[in-house]
A and B are shown apart, each in its own frame.
Chain A
Amino acid sequence: MASSADPRPWLPGEPALADRPSLAHPNPAGGDYGITLRELTHAGKINLRGGTALQAPATKVTGCASLPTANHFVSAGDRHLVWLGPDEYLLLCEAGAETELKQRLDNLIGTSKAVATDVSDALCALELRGPSIRQTLAKGCSLDLHHSIFTAGHAAQTALAHAGVTIIAHSDDRFWLLCRTSFAAYVQQWLCDAALEYGVHFTN
């Protein structure tokens, strides 16, 4: 087995936005930042493909009552199931839990027609907090994100400016946004620019 004398300074590894400096632009109108932005460092992500064969394994390992309906997500504590398509879901979990969850999923799926793939490093998850999330996202996303339409519990795979993203609404002032890791710096930079008029804080 591994026999390196190296002190492993890299574990648990580099966050996707490790290189991006923190940034703060106060709200020009005074008061709180319109958006506060941070990476959900190393959040676990497992891509699920399959139909009904996923129902039992996915709910069992997450504790969610059922798979989400189209354009929604469901949660149980720190674990979430996000609808991505008619036969595709994304499982989000606490950092570090993905390896064990993937193993359990594989065991529960067995030979049935479903697949779980660890994509924790392929995707970057950002948390957006603050009152100006919807206006900021509207600058780059053509979906109707109005609070009467895209309510808490909604999720959508869409485009934000030139990046593919998945938007998850936890509440009016708390969203998650997932993108491919290589787009994360662009998305972060874009959000900080788009939110300038509301005040924006990115912490790393």
Chain B
Amino acid sequence: MSKRPSSQLRRLPKGGRIDRSQIVSFTFDGRTYQGHAGDTLAAALLANDVHLVGRSFKYHRPRGILTAGVDEPNALVRLGRGAHAEPNLRATQIELFDGLYAESQNRIPSLKFDIGAVNSVLSRFFPAGFYYKTFMWPASLWMTYEHVIRHAAGLGKAADDHNDPDRYERTHAHCDVLVAGGGVAGIMAAVSAAESGARVILADEQNEFGGWMLGEAGVEIDGKPAADWVSTMVDKLAQMPHVTLLPRTTVFGYMDHNFLTLTERVTDHMPSRPAHLPRQRLWKVRAKQVILAQGAHERPLVFAGNDLPGVMLSGAVRTYINRYAVVPGQRAVIVTNNDDAYRTALALHDAGAHVIIADLRATAKGPLITAATAAGIEILPGHAVINAVGNLRVGRVEIAPVTADATAISGDIIYRDCDLVAMSGGFSPAVHLHSQARGKLQWDDKKLCFTPSTTHEPSVNIGAGNGSFELATALREAVRAGHQAASLTGHRSSMAAAPAVVMTKQSWQPLAAWKLPNGHAAGKGPKAFVDFQNDVTATDIGMAAREGYQSVEHLKRYTTTGMGTDQGKTSNINALAILAEALGHDIPAVGTTTFRMPYSPANIGAIAGRDIGALFDPFRRTRMDAWHQAAGATFEHVGQWMRAWYYPQPGETMQQAVNREVKAARTTAGLLDASTLGKIDIRGRDAAEFLNRIYTNSWQKLGIGRCRYGLMLKDDGMVMDDGVTTRLGDNHFHMTTTTGGAAAVLDWLEEWLQTEWPELDVTLTSVTEQWAVATLSGPKAAQILQDAGIDIDLSPASFPFMSMQDAHIGGLPVRIFRISFTGELSYEINVAARHGLALWRLLMKHGAAHGLTPYGTEAMHVLRAEKGFIIVGQETDGSVTPLDLGMGWIIAKSKPDFIGKRALARNSMGYEDRKQLVGLLCKDPETVIPEGAHAVLDPSQPLPMDMLGQVTSSYFSPNLGRSIAMGLLKGGQARKGQTVYFPLLDGRVLEATVTDTVFFDPEGERING
């Protein structure tokens, strides 16, 4: 009994690189088919005689499989179901697995009957630039147009569930030599380099190494069939520990300094994806030397009906026969401008198909032509296919004799029935990566292609990608490139001889024919496609040229040729050749469009890697965090820190919780986790002098154990950061910074020390996380510390405001700063971070009897606002000076210098209309003015209103029983007592009085409890 299922009509009984023992079932557009392991989806569809696989983008024309690889413009499918579905994948690259589920795209409702095809009938009204011409006017309707266009256009549909369930990851890699492309040239180069001991990465986008040679018959390398040579060499590489083989890996980006990006499809080909493996992996490779062995892409010929299913590239037909044992048609017509298509003719003939060759060249000669003649294949020299017709698949071609340059029909048309047309318009080296790295190209007017020339990266092109289509030449280049790359990376390498090659000779000089004649006037006749994916015809390009789109870059944007997922791999050269012809220029004068990454589409998931969910950005948590969480705190982001925001009790709103916390801090006591404040240990003989230069006020005379508040300015005189700094010893200070500014301040200080003041004896060490900090604030604070077992005298006389003492609380060594951000009696208790949680628990335990209440950052904000204390970054925005804040008292004008002093002396710093900090009391005490609200003097003035400034902080103050706010108003200090208005987005206009910024305890009587 045959293992070949009867459904695979077009499968050859033997041959190919498929595993016939493994029969694989798959579903395409709801129908189940069978194929073999080793097939691509395209190969398996062709084995089942399915050519119609999609509808085109603009005209919804039926489209088939054109290629056998990455260059495929037509056969795009949506793979998988539900959240795993992925659109726009090329059937020519999808490895077949059991249970594979794929759907065609761009058809409503089905492939065979698509109502969108009405666009094709109406195509006279859809010329190049149709959207630009039609939807320009009126501009206000663009939003409506866009909605319809986006639905009608676009390629496939993304997954229904936008939460991608798959794992992805990124990895870095380094190597001496990266070889991009694992055809025979790439393999040879990798072996040549690796034999010296060089670290080599060999990457190829296919499941198997070997490239084009896997689809070629009758080729011998080093006395073996090419495929056997390939497996010998790959085995050899696999044995070398310093070689990394990456199949299923596309090198898609080539950046400066030999930094390249690769996508490895790790589990895409598996019927079920193991949970421990990423679906795809992005490789970020830094290579000392790069060898580009990307190969070449075959070009279509541009003739009427060249987009019908069943019209394929010649080399692809040969690959399906030799690699997949699939014959895509039984009655084949070949149209070519070169020798290579004769190999396809022979392969088809050997596979039992009937073949006719229309050769554009009148006098082609050579061993392949001789072989085809000997095989009895009908050859029509000097003939072109001028039209292909059929419904959903090619059924007949019109062939005509053409002039020597193939631009005009020179005789009677012949009609031939067929089910397959194989076309070859020559080959274009894949110069994409070379060009991405800004390498230059040159036009080869014999081979009719752009080949790589100079580059500023340490890289070299070899093989077909270098225009060296001849196998023996490619292998010689590969051996030399590998040897040189190894030598250049410091490895002792001796150059081996390139292996001997047996392959029928052919000419690599095609006839310069791009667009074949059709017997109609320019712009008339059936459509001949240049860009299949974007439905761009030869006529469109001619029209664009006539309309003045003469630059190839403009042509691309106007006609969309070369856009889309294939980025014009099959169409670019034809398009610019036709443009050159229309303009009367030569091809190099027209040039190419810019090649940009990615070479082929890269999955966004792989680029994100594991930077998603909880790992998107680190959450930094303090050492007391476990307590806050257990207490049910709500957290807020402060930079990367998660700080306790407020601690709602059951049934409490945020406002109620904050009010309770704020009240407690002024009536009993409150406890704040202040661990996140930046802390910098400053030491050295010049430490005081350093602070004198950094801060605006004076530091030389600060006594040991005393604290001082400081403002730090940028050199433009604007407030940068603030905090309290304490003198621990003659040459030793402890600086605190804002939570968000900690890292930037340390960098800022280091920069001044290292670049401007290297003569100062000062060292800085971040101790932010060495200390956990609990701030105990309120009238009962001292009592609680005593109950908790503090071993120092807390009386204001022996422990005055703005001083520091070392002490023990319950046996824990602590450093206590008597400073206050609330205006209450307050202690900032620092303890070695490992004891932070214990300190917090101890204080809460002994504070319970005194009504100690933990408070979060929101209550902290309210408490400081009641006292008119600023928060850098809230009252300031990089354009605010100390004078603007009403803090002129902190500037020591007598100091010879400090950062920002010179800037503060500018005239503009004294302008009366500078925005200045003021207090604001809303007329309605229950209404809290929104932060960011803009003030105006006259709310009835016409728009745009003259703005005075904006609210920077605004809260409800439970201690005052009313709302309070601060804001920056133009000339604000002179406006005290004035009424200003806040017109809001919701139509309300709030009225407020300008006041002083200190709302509570203006005499500061509460500081000692």
Given A182-B622, A197-B276, is A190 in contact with B615 using a C-beta cutoff of 8 Å? yes
Binds A, one of B473-481, B558-566, B764-772: B764-772
- Give the residues in chain A near B895, CB-CB below 8 Å: none
Q: Is the interface of B mostly helix, strand, loop or mixed?
A: mixed
- Give the residues in chain B near A186, CB-CB below 8 Å: 615, 618-620
Given A122-B770, A181-B623, A186-B615, is A2 in contact with B834 using a C-beta cutoff of 8 Å? no
Given A47-B765, A161-B611, is A141 in contact with B276 using a C-beta cutoff of 8 Å? no
Q: From residue A172, how far is it (CB to closest CB) to chain B in Å?
A: 13
Name the CB-closest residue of B to A26. Answer: B276
Residues B615-634 near A (CB distance < 8 A)? 615, 617-623, 625-626
Q: From residue B912, how far is it (CB to closest CB) to chain A in Å?
A: 45
How long is the Cα–Cα vector from A28 to B789 in the complex, in angstroms? 54
Name the CB-closest residue of A to B274. Answer: A28
Binds A, one of B305-313, B372-380, B835-843: B835-843
Q: From residue A42, how far is it (CB to closest CB) to chain B in Å?
A: 7
B623→A163 contact, CB < 8 A: no
B769→A182 contact, CB < 8 A: yes
- Give the residues in chain A near B808, CB-CB below 8 Å: 1-2
B833→A139 contact, CB < 8 A: no
Say if the beta carbon of B454 comes within 8 Å of chain A.
no
Say if the beta carbon of B641 comes within 8 Å of chain A.
yes
Say if the beta carbon of A168 comes within 8 Å of chain B.
no
Given A161-B611, A182-B622, is A49 in contact with B763 using a C-beta cutoff of 8 Å? yes
B810→A161 contact, CB < 8 A: no
Q: From residue B395, how far is it (CB to closest CB) to chain A in Å?
A: 52
- Give the residues in chain A near B842, CB-CB below 8 Å: 4, 6
Task: Indicate which residue in B284, B622, B809 contacts A4 across the interface (CB closer than 8 Å).
Answer: B809
A146→B789 contact, CB < 8 A: no
- Give the residues in chain B near A144, CB-CB below 8 Å: 174, 286
A50→B811 contact, CB < 8 A: no
A10→B618 contact, CB < 8 A: no
Given A6-B842, A13-B832, A14-B834, is A138 in contact with B769 using a C-beta cutoff of 8 Å? no
Given A163-B618, A181-B623, A183-B620, is A3 in contact with B789 using a C-beta cutoff of 8 Å? yes
Name the CB-closest residue of B to A118. Answer: B770
- Give the residues in chain B near A189, CB-CB below 8 Å: 614-615
Q: From residue B263, how far is it (CB to closest CB) to chain A in Å?
A: 15
Q: From residue A80, how far is it (CB to closest CB) to chain B in Å?
A: 19
Say if the beta carbon of B924 comes within 8 Å of chain A.
no
Task: Indicate which residue in A14, A28, A162, A180 contacts B617 across the interface (CB closer than 8 Å).
Answer: A162
Q: From residue A69, how far is it (CB to closest CB) to chain B in Å?
A: 21
- Give the residues in chain B near A121, CB-CB below 8 Å: 769-771, 832-834
Most buried by A among B620, B640, B834: B834
Binds A, one of B80-88, B165-173, B187-195: B165-173
Contact string, B321-340, partner A, CB cutoff 8 A, digits 1/0? 00000000000000000000
Task: Indicate which residue in B199, B614, B626, B769 contacts A146 across the interface (CB closer than 8 Å).
Answer: B199
B763→A115 contact, CB < 8 A: yes
Residues B819-849 near A (CB distance < 8 A)? 832-838, 841-842
Most buried by B among A12, A25, A135, A142: A142
How long is the Cα–Cα vector from A50 to B622 in the complex, in angstroms? 30
A193→B173 contact, CB < 8 A: no
A14→B837 contact, CB < 8 A: yes
How long is the Cα–Cα vector from A13 to B836 in the complex, in angstroms? 8
Say if the beta carbon of B270 comes within 8 Å of chain A.
no
B832→A138 contact, CB < 8 A: no
- Give the residues in chain B near A12, CB-CB below 8 Å: 834
Given A119-B770, A182-B622, A197-B276, is A10 in contact with B789 using a C-beta cutoff of 8 Å? no
A13→B838 contact, CB < 8 A: yes
Residues A75-94 near B (CB distance < 8 A)? none
Name the CB-closest residue of A to B242. Answer: A148
Q: From residue A175, how far is it (CB to closest CB) to chain B in Å?
A: 16
Say if the beta carbon of B788 comes within 8 Å of chain A.
yes
Residues A136-164 near B (CB distance < 8 A)? 138-139, 141-144, 146, 148-149, 161-163
Q: From residue A76, how far is it (CB to closest CB) to chain B in Å?
A: 24
Task: Indicate which residue in B622, B766, B811 contacts A2 across the interface (CB closer than 8 Å).
Answer: B811
- Give the residues in chain A near B683, CB-CB below 8 Å: 115
- Give the residues in chain A near B171, CB-CB below 8 Å: 135, 138-139
- Give the residues in chain A near B812, CB-CB below 8 Å: 2, 10
Residues B764-815 near A (CB distance < 8 A)? 764-771, 788-789, 791, 808-812
Q: Is the interface of A mostly helix, strand, loop or mixed?
A: loop
Residues B590-621 near A (CB distance < 8 A)? 609-611, 614-615, 617-621
- Give the residues in chain B near A122, CB-CB below 8 Å: 766-770, 833
- Give the residues in chain A near B771, CB-CB below 8 Å: 121
Q: From residue B843, how far is it (CB to closest CB) to chain A in Å?
A: 12
Name the CB-closest residue of B to A42. Answer: B834
How long is the Cα–Cα vector from A77 to B842 in the complex, in angstroms? 38
B172→A141 contact, CB < 8 A: yes
Say if the beta carbon of B715 comes within 8 Å of chain A.
no
Say if the beta carbon of B716 comes within 8 Å of chain A.
no
Q: From residue A136, how far is it (CB to closest CB) to chain B in Å?
A: 9
A4→B789 contact, CB < 8 A: yes
Residues A7-60 near B (CB distance < 8 A)? 8-15, 18-19, 25, 28, 42, 47, 49-50
Name the CB-closest residue of A to B811. Answer: A2
How long is the Cα–Cα vector from A25 to B276 in the complex, in angstroms? 9
Given A181-B833, A183-B618, is A194 in contact with B169 using a C-beta cutoff of 8 Å? yes
How long is the Cα–Cα vector from A44 to B791 in the complex, in angstroms? 27
Most buried by A among B172, B622, B841: B172
Name the CB-closest residue of B to A197. Answer: B276
How long is the Cα–Cα vector from A18 to B611 in the complex, in angstroms? 24
Task: Indicate which residue in B274, B610, B620, B765 contacts A193 across the interface (CB closer than 8 Å).
Answer: B610
Q: From residue A114, how far is it (CB to closest CB) to chain B in Å?
A: 8
How long is the Cα–Cα vector from A177 to B951 in the complex, in angstroms? 46
- Give the residues in chain A near B834, CB-CB below 8 Å: 12-15, 42, 121
How long is the Cα–Cα vector from A142 to B283 in the complex, in angstroms? 11
- Give the residues in chain B near A71, CB-CB below 8 Å: none
B170→A139 contact, CB < 8 A: yes
Contact string, A160-203, partner B, CB cutoff 8 A, digits 1/0? 01110000000000000000111101100110011011000000
Residues B240-283 near A (CB distance < 8 A)? 274, 276-278
Task: Indicate which residue in B610, B765, B788 contacts A115 across the interface (CB closer than 8 Å).
Answer: B765
How long is the Cα–Cα vector from A180 to B789 in the complex, in angstroms? 31
B810→A4 contact, CB < 8 A: yes
- Give the residues in chain A near B769, CB-CB below 8 Å: 121-123, 180-182
- Give the residues in chain B near A142, CB-CB below 8 Å: 172, 284, 286
How long is the Cα–Cα vector from A15 to B809 in the complex, in angstroms? 20
Given A13-B832, A146-B174, is A5 in contact with B766 using a C-beta cutoff of 8 Å? no
How long is the Cα–Cα vector from A139 to B168 in the complex, in angstroms? 11
Say if the beta carbon of B761 comes within 8 Å of chain A.
yes
Q: From residue B936, how far is it (CB to closest CB) to chain A in Å?
A: 43
B172→A10 contact, CB < 8 A: no
Given A117-B767, A118-B770, is A193 in contact with B835 using a C-beta cutoff of 8 Å? no
- Give the residues in chain A near B835, CB-CB below 8 Å: 10-11, 13-14
Given A6-B811, A121-B770, is A113 in contact with B761 using a C-beta cutoff of 8 Å? yes
A185→B810 contact, CB < 8 A: no
Q: From residue B630, how far is it (CB to closest CB) to chain A in Å?
A: 11
Name the CB-closest residue of A to B626. Answer: A19
Most buried by A among B170, B274, B619, B811: B811
Contacts A/B (CB < 8 Å), 19 sampled:
A2-B791, A2-B808, A6-B789, A10-B837, A19-B625, A19-B626, A28-B274, A115-B765, A118-B770, A122-B769, A122-B833, A123-B769, A138-B171, A161-B615, A181-B623, A181-B769, A182-B640, A185-B619, A197-B277
Known contacts A162-B611, A197-B278; 11 further A-B pairs (Cβ under 8 A): A2-B791, A6-B842, A119-B770, A122-B833, A139-B172, A139-B610, A180-B620, A180-B769, A183-B620, A185-B621, A197-B277
A-B CB proximity, top 10 nearest: A13-B834, A10-B838, A4-B810, A4-B789, A182-B620, A121-B833, A186-B618, A2-B808, A144-B174, A122-B769
